[in-house]
């Protein structure tokens, strides 16, 4: 009887840990706190949730980094990291697809129906005969709490480019230049790391982090301009809602991506992590950053241009 020996690749299984349970509780605090903040019930629980989430993730990732430097990772485990990050980015794609889909539905169907077009246009003519089917709408029809007809006033002006003369002060253009430039700099950093040139890698990654936070500052200035001078708020009709939901969530992703990249810069410059062969932490951050850039291109086209 022949005996065949089959070699199996080892797969590192970490010891049982309470970190996932703590993280789940932290997310519960964060979700309930966010709901309380939106309802005007205070922000204490929200900040507790945010601090707990950040602390738990920082500790969790530090454990994974220590395991990696201890040589416990295997090719199979590294492959699972790649698939995990890929599925995470895919879930983010679906997240933004829902908001872009809502914007498309409102602009393509709802506005036209309320304006009297199509088979469902009769309802718009009966309910709001004076509604003008334009985008962005200056008024948004709605029903009051008493069941009467009411309208929500839109902004005094939109965030669209008002003319060639105002191109030099149009903040979305600067945001686009900054973010697309950062996509190039993070690629240069990746090429430098593959060439095993740590100094050049740190330089280009540092420039990327700087551009990321410049974008966040510019978007904060854009929001101030919208609130203070254009009358555009999240409550100013369907245009305000879709504008702030899309740009706000994207801005949050830019901030998270900037922190993600800054963490990789700290690991490289402060602790000499990463080699030309082993640098998945940076690769994951760069994939996420390219995703953020692509979302902004779509935002720029469908929210600011078309």
Q: What pLDDT, in 10s, does the model give residues 41-51?
A: 888 999 999 99
More confident residue, 94 or 1: 94
Q: What is the DSSP letter of 139?
A: E
Taking the CA atoms of residue 241, residue 174, residue 157 and residue 222 in that order, the dihedral angle to the nearest 10 degrees is 60
What per-residue confidence (pLDDT) applies to 208?
A: 97
What per-residue confidence (pLDDT) applies to 3?
A: 47
Environment class of residue 114 by beta-carbon count within 10 Å: exposed (0-12), middle (13-18) or buried (19+)? buried
Query: Which tens digit of pLDDT belongs to each residue from 14-48?
Result: 778 899 999 999 999 999 998 898 788 888 999 99
What is the CATH number for 25? 1.10.287.70
What per-residue confidence (pLDDT) applies to 41?
A: 87
Is 272 a member of any domain? no
pLDDT at 289 over 50: yes
Buried-exposed string 185-201: b where 16+ CB fall within 10 A, e elsewhere: bbebbbebbeeeebeeb
| Structure confidence at residue 143 as a pLDDT band (50, 70, 90) | low
Cβ–Cβ < 8 Å for 199, 248: no
Locate 163 and state its tokens.
């003319």
Locate 176 and state its tokens.
């686009």
Is 164 a member of any domain? no
Tell me the backbone φ, ψ of residue 129, rounded to 5 degrees.
Answer: -65, -20
Domain that holds residue 51: 16-72
Q: What is the pTM of this model?
A: 0.87
Query: Which tens digit of pLDDT belongs to each residue from 180-216?
Result: 999 999 999 999 999 999 999 999 999 999 999 999 9
**Listed residue (183, 141, 172) closest to 294, CA to CA:** 183
**CA dihedral for 120, 298, 284, 207, sign (positive or negative):** negative
Mean pLDDT estimate for the chain: 87
pLDDT at 112 over 50: yes
- CA-to-CA dists, residue 256 to 54, 212, 261, 268, angstroms: 11, 10, 9, 19
Is 52 a member of any domain? yes
What per-residue confidence (pLDDT) applies to 1?
A: 44
Is 112 a member of any domain? no
Is 263 a member of any domain? no
Is 153 a member of any domain? no
Is 38 a member of any domain? yes
What is the end-to-end Cα distance of the chain in Å, rounded? 74
* Residue with the two structure tokens 């945001």: 175
What per-residue confidence (pLDDT) applies to 188?
A: 97
Give the count of domains, the chain. 1
Is 65 a member of any domain? yes
């Amino acid at each position: 009887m022949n005996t065949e020996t089959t070699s199996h690749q080892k797969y590192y299984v970490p010891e049982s840990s309470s970190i996932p349970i703590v993280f789940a509780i932290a997310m519960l605090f964060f979700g309930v706190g966010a709901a309380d903040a939106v309802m005007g019930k205070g922000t204490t629980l929200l900040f507790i949730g945010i601090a707990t989430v950040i602390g738990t993730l920082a500790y969790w990732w530090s454990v994974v980094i220590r395991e990696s430097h201890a040589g416990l990772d295997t090719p199979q485990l590294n492959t699972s990291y790649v698939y995990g990050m890929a599925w995470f980015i895919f879930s983010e794609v679906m997240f933004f697809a829902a908001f872009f889909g809502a914007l498309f539905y409102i602009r393509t169907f709802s506005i036209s129906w309320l304006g009297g077009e199509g088979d469902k246009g009769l309802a718009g003519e009966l309910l709001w005969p004076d509604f003008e089917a334009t985008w962005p709408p200056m008024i948004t029809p709605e029903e009051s709490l008493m069941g009467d007809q009411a309208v929500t006033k839109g902004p005094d002006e939109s965030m669209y480019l008002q003319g060639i003369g105002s191109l030099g002060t149009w903040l979305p253009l600067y945001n686009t230049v900054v973010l697309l430039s950062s996509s190039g700099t993070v690629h240069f950093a990746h090429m430098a790391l593959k060439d095993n040139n740590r100094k050049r890698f740190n330089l280009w990654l540092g420039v990327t982090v700087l551009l990321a936070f410049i974008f966040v500052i510019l978007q904060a200035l854009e929001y101030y301009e919208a609130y203070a001078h254009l009358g555009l708020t999240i409550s100013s009709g369907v245009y305000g809602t879709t504008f702030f939901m899309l740009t706000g969530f994207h801005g949050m992703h830019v901030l998270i991506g900037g922190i993600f990249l800054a963490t990789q810069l700290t690991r490289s410059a402060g602790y000499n992590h990463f080699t030309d062969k082993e640098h998945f932490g940076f690769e994951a951050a760069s994939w996420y950053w390219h995703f953020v850039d692509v979302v902004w291109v779509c935002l720029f086209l469908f929210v600011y241009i078309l």
